[in-house]
Amino acid sequence: MNPESKPPNPPESFPSSFHNQRILIGITGGIAAYKVCQVISALAKAGAEVRAILTSGAAQFITPLTVATLCRHPAYTDADFWQPTHHRPLHIELGEWAQVLAIAPLTANTLAKLTAGMADNLLTNTVLASRCPVLLAPAANTDMWNQPVTQRNWRQIHADDRYHSLAPGRGILACDRVGSGRMAEPDRILAHLESLLQTQGKRDLRGQRVLISGGGTREYLDPVRFIGNPATGKMGVALAQAALHRGAEVTLVHGPLDRGLLDGIPEVRAIAVTTAAQMQQAMVECFPHADLIVMSAAVADVKPNSYSAQKLPKRSLPEALGLESVPDIIAQLSARKQPHQRLIGFAAQTGDIVTPAREKLQRKNLDAIVANPIDLPAAGFGSDRNQAIVLEAGGRQQAIEPCSKLTLAHRLFDFLAQG
Look up the pTM and report it: 0.93
State the catalytic residues.
175
pLDDT of residue 165: 96
CA–CA distance, 225 with 219 (Å, rounded to integer): 8
Three-state DSSP at 52 gives strand
- pLDDT: is 419 or 243 the higher one? 243
With CA atoms as reference, report the closest residue to 380 among 7, 83, 128, 16.
Answer: 7
pLDDT digits (tens, 9 = 90+) for 377-406: 878 788 999 999 999 999 999 999 999 999
Mean pLDDT across the chain: 93
With CA atoms as reference, report the closest residue to 50 among 81, 27, 72, 65.
Answer: 72
Length of the chain, in residues: 419
Is the pLDDT reported for residue 39 higher than 80?
Answer: yes
pLDDT digits (tens, 9 = 90+) for 322-372: 999 999 999 999 999 999 999 999 999 999 999 999 999 999 999 999 999
Three-state DSSP at 363 gives helix
pLDDT of residue 13: 53
- For the residues 88-96, what does the mean pLDDT come to? 94
Phi, psi of 224, deg, nearest 5:
-125, -10
pLDDT of residue 85: 64
CA–CA distance, 236 with 283 (Å, rounded to integer): 14
Domains, the chain, ordered by start: 22-199 (3.40.50.1950), 209-417 (3.40.50.10300)
